[in-house]
Structure 1
Amino acid sequence: MEKQFNDLSESRQQQLMAFDRLLTIMDELREQCPWDRKQTMDSLRHLTIEETYELSDAIIENDSPEIKKELGDVLLHIVFYAKIGSEARLDNGFQFDIKDVLDGICDKLVSRHPHIYGDFVADSEEAVKQNWEKLKLKEGNKSVLSGVPASLPALVKAMRIQEKARGVGFDWDDKRQVWGKVEEELAEFKDNFNIETGEVLDQKEAEGEFGDLLFSLVNYSRFVDINPETALERTNKKFIRRFQYLEEASKADGKSLAEMTLDEMDEYWNEAKKLNA
C-alpha cells in the first residue's frame, strides 16, 4: 500500500517537495524559455555526456560541493528527457513521463533483488552479481555482453566486458594465473619489434598484441581491486600538475621550454615530484 504524503517523515516530505519544485521549474522553462523549448533528446545528448564527465572529475577529486552541483546538473537532464518524452504523444504516440521513469527503475530494482524482495538467498556480493546477470538473460537479453554500451570508451568497456563475463562464472580462479597472462601478452608484444633497431616488424600484429596486453592488465586490475579508468585518470591529472609546474617554474626563471634541454626540464620535473605536485 502506498504511503500518504502526511505519513512520511519530515525529511522525506522535504525531499519530495524539492523534487516537485524541480519538476515545476522544468515545466515553466519548457513553456517560456526559447532555449529550453528548442531542445530535443538529440541536442541534449552531448551535453549529458559532458555533465557526466564533470561529475566523474568531481568524484575523483573528492570535491563534495562540486559533486553536489554536478549531481544537480545530471538530475536536471534526467527530468528534461522525461519532460520531452511526455510531449512525444504529439508526434508519434510514444510517450513517457518522470513517473514512468521512476516506476520503471523501481520495478527493475525489485525484480533484480529477489534476495531482498523474494525468497532467493544470496550471502555474498559475488552471488548477487551472478544472479543479476542470470535475471537479465531471463528478461530477454540475448547475450551477457549485450548490456555493455557500444559507445563506451575502450578502457571502461574492457572492464565492463570482463565484469559481465565474471558474472556468469567465466573468469580466472587465481590472480597468479592472470599475471601469467599479462607476462605472456607482454612477451608476444615485444616479439613484434626488433629490439636492436626499434623497428616494428608488423604494425597490425603489434597493435593487436598491444590491445591484448592492455586487456590482460585491465583483467589483473580487477583481481587487485583497482579501477583502471580511475587509476589512469589520476595519473593523467598528476602528469598535468607536474607539467604545469614545469611550465610555470621555468617561465619564472626566465627560461623557454622550446629552448631547454630534456635534462633541464627533468630538474623542474623532479622538483614537482618532491613537492608532491
Structure 2
Amino acid sequence: MPQSPDPAAALQRLLTVMARLRSPDGGCPWDLIQNFATIAPYTIEEAYEVEDAIHRDDRPALLDELGDLLFQVVYHAQMAEESGHFGFSDIAEKITRKMILRHPHVFGETESRTSEEQTHAWEAQKAVERAARAETGTLAGIPQGLPALTRAAKLTRRAARVGFDWPEAAGILDKLEEEAAELRAELPAADPARLADEVGDLLFVLANLARKLDLDPETCLRGANRKFERRFGAVEAALAAEGLAPADTTLEVMEAHWQEVKKAERSGP
C-alpha cells in the first residue's frame, strides 16, 4: 500500500478546493447558487452510499464514498464560514470536545466501563446536553429529518428508557396483529386519509418491533429491498430464457417463477 499523504495537508487542499468552487471570482456557477437546504439531500445520499459500500464489502468504493461524505461536511462548513457563523475548524474542535466529554473513562479519571455501562453514560450525557439547549421532554432532540423508520425506532427507544415499553417482543407482535386488523377494516371504505393513518400505525409498530429485537429497521428494509431486486431479476431472467418479458405473461406465471427462485435460494450453498 502506497504511503498516505499528510492528513493535515490533504485536508487543507480539500478546503482550498471548496473555497475556490464557491469563490465569486471565477468559482463554479452551480456551487455558487447552493445553500444549506439544497445541499442537505446530497449529504443524506452520500451517507447512504457509504453504507452501501460497507454492505458490499467494497473497500475501493468505501474510500471513494467516504471522500464524497467528507466533501459534504466541507461544503456546509464553507457556506457557514461565508455567512460568518463558523468554519471547519470550529466543527472539528466542537466534536473533539464532545467526544472527550462523553468518554471520561478514556480521557479522564473515571474507571473503565463495559460497553453497556458506556451506552448508559453516553445517553445520560446527551440528556444533560439537551437540557442545556432547553430541549425538554423525553422525546426532545430527535431530528425531524431522520428517515421515518429510523426516527420511529429512536422515539420508541427513548420512551423505553423511562419504562414505556413492552416487556417482551411477543407483545409487539400482538399489537402488530391488532393494527393489521384495523387496516383490514378500513379497506372497504378506501378512505385515503384513514388508510394512510392505519398504514402509518403498522409501520410504526414494525419499527418498534425491530428496535425491541435489537435490529435497525432501515437496515432490515434495505435488506428486504435488495432481496426483492435479486429475486425479481431472477424471475425476469427466467422469463427471458423463455422468450418472454413480465408484461407478456400473467401474475400466476411470474409467481411460479418467484417461488422457484425462493426455493433455489433456500436450498443453495
TM over 0.5: yes
Query: Are positions 1:100 and 2:95 aligned together?
Result: no
Q: Give the Cα–Cα distance (whole angstroms) in 2 for the partners of residues 225 and 48 of structure 1.
A: 27
Note the 1:38-57 alignment, pairs <5 A: 38-57=33-52
Match of 1:263 among 230, 241, 252: 252
Note the 1:140-159 alignment, pairs <5 A: 140=133, 141-159=135-153
Given the two structures, how large is their TM-score scaled by the length of structure 2?
Answer: 0.79
Given the two structures, how large is their TM-score scaled by the length of structure 1?
Answer: 0.77
The alignment-based identity, stated in percent, is 32
Q: Secondary structure at the match of 2:244?
A: coil
Q: Give the Cα–Cα distance (whole angstroms) in 2 for the partners of residues 220 and 53 of structure 1.
A: 23
C-alpha spacing 1:230/1:203, structure 2 compared with 1 (3 Å): same
C-alpha spacing 1:183/1:207, structure 2 compared with 1 (3 Å): farther
Q: Give the Cα–Cα distance (whole angstroms) in 2 for the partners of residues 160 and 258 of structure 1.
A: 41
The residue identity in structure 2 corresponding to 1:170 is G
Compute the displacement of 1:125 (Å). Answer: 3.8
Give the corresponding residue for 2:131: 138
Compute the displacement of 1:269 (Å). Answer: 1.8
Deviations 1:159-202 (A, max 9, x none): 11123334x4334373x2x322321341353156469xx73598
C-alpha spacing 1:126/1:26, structure 2 compared with 1 (3 Å): closer
Q: Structure 2: which 5+ runs fail to align? A: none
Alignment check: 8 A CA contact 1:60 1:230 kept: no
Q: Secondary structure at the match of 1:143?
A: coil
Compute the displacement of 1:135 (Å). Answer: 1.8
Give the corresponding residue for 2:163: 170
Alignment check: 8 A CA contact 1:85 1:95 kept: yes
Q: Structure 1: which 5+ runs fail to align? A: 1-10, 89-93
How well do the aligned residues superpose, as a CA RMSD in angstroms? 3.1
Give the corresponding residue for 1:82: 77
Compute the displacement of 1:107 (Å). Answer: 1.9
Give the corresponding residue for 2:60: 65
Note the 1:80-229 alignment, pairs <5 A: 80-88=75-83, 94-118=84-108, 122-123=113-114, 124-140=117-133, 141-166=135-160, 168-172=161-165, 174=167, 176=168, 178-191=169-182, 193=184, 199=188, 207-229=196-218
